Amino acid sequence: MKKYNVAIVGATGAVGQEFLKILTERKFPVGNLKLLATSRSAGKIIHWQGTDYVVEETRPDAFTGVDIALFAGGSASTEFAMDAVARGAVVIDNSSAFRLDPDVPLVVPEVNPEDVEWHKGIIANPNCSTIIMVAALKPLHDAAGITRVVVSTYQAVSGAGREGIEELETQVGQFSRGEETRPQAFPYQIAFNLIPRIDVFQEGDYTKEEWKMVKETQKILHAPDMAITATTVRVPVFRSHSESVNVETEQKLTAAEAKYILAKAPGIIVIDDPAGDRYPMPLTAADTDEVYVGRIREDFSISNGLNLWVVGDQIRKGAATNAIQIAELLTK
């Protein structure tokens, strides 16, 4: 089996560490491995598959001899992605820098794997909440033609990185001891609270996260006219994003038909048993690669409407696993 020289940019962060874990789990054929990060993290030792690797500072020449460069996100993408491409690497980028670039494929392997074929050196990994949603939308769109989507998200603190996880842990302790909380990673206390704002406000008072879900979904599904509106909310959950999704279709789908279609779809697990009180939850999805769908029911307020509850681990399927699945498409 051919092996590929892989670089991970942002190797010491949450997504970078998940990259290493998933490369092992999926037995990706890694030849040489380079672990790259900022100058602050350079020199750290990371143990992977029986070998100690020294983290190097991310520099343009670090990509010499690299076949696939996995970028975990952040400013490194705009600073170094083109350097990696110039040295012959294919970049799979987890930041938002290239997602809406018309020359860059935006790929979810279960949804639009064919788009990998027209890459010009960079393939973008979609936003985590977008990945989770489009995995559930695609089979329904193929079956009945989705015309409108209304989504509200319930996004875990780990979507904000290690700092978000640590802040929730700290604030739970502070709250239980009656101490004052001092928000840093989030604008307000996140423990025992919800914050209906993720990222900065933009056009129409929608946030950047909300516009990502709109524009990225349209691009991935090749449906520029699909009407989509989103509200994104940070919730005090450590891991896995949840989404309440309402869709309107051209052709009517009953709830039973939708369940059947979704149950057959790649990467989807349907958990929908009202009598047994069974439905997906963040704990269900944590540390898994599937997207879970439940609470599937008709929206009786319109002719062709469905309601779905969709949950996925945003660090794995919403970031690292999706990127490595893209790398697997490249090897084929």
Per-position DSSP letters for 71-105, written without gaps between them: E-SSTHHHHHHHHHHHTTPEEEE-SSSSTT-TTS-
User: pLDDT tens digit string along 28-38?
Assistant: 999 999 999 99
Those residues whose C-beta lies under 8 Å from the C-beta of residue 202, and which sit 6 or more positions away, are: 208, 211
Mean pLDDT over residues 164-185, rounded? 96
Give me the pLDDT at residue 282, please: 98
**Could you give the 3-state DSSP secondary structure of residue 169?**
helix
Confidence of residue 176 (pLDDT cuts 50, 70, 90): very high
Percent of the chain residues past pLDDT 70, beyond the cut: 100
Confidence of residue 308 (pLDDT cuts 50, 70, 90): very high
**Could you give the 3-state DSSP secondary structure of residue 296?**
strand
User: pLDDT tens digit string along 85-105?
Assistant: 999 999 999 999 999 999 999
Give me the pLDDT at residue 120, please: 97
User: pLDDT tens digit string along 17-57?
Assistant: 999 999 999 999 999 999 999 999 999 999 999 999 999 99
Give me the pLDDT at residue 161, please: 85
Query: Is pLDDT of 252 > 90?
Result: yes
- Tell me how crowded residue 44 is: count the other CB atoms within 10 A of its CB: 14
| Tokens of residue 149, six digits | 């989507």
Which among 119, 141, 222, 241 is annotated as catalytic? 241
Give the phi and the psi of residue 208 in degrees, each rounded to 5: -60, -40
Question: Is 119 known to be catalytic?
Answer: no
Give me the pLDDT at residue 248, please: 98
- Identify the structural domains of the chain with CATH numbers, from first to last: 4-126+319-331 (3.40.50.720), 130-314 (3.30.360.10)
Q: List alpha helices for the chain, DSSP H.
A: 14-25, 76-86, 128-144, 162-176, 208-220, 255-264, 282-285, 321-331
Confidence of residue 332 (pLDDT cuts 50, 70, 90): confident
Mean pLDDT over residues 148-162, rounded? 95
User: pLDDT tens digit string along 273-282?
Assistant: 999 999 999 9
Which among 47, 128, 141, 222 is annotated as catalytic? 128
For residue 150, the one-letter residue type is: V
DSSP for 175-226, written as a single string = HHTTPPP--SSSSS--TT--BS--S-B-GGG-BHHHHHHHHHHHHHTT-TT-
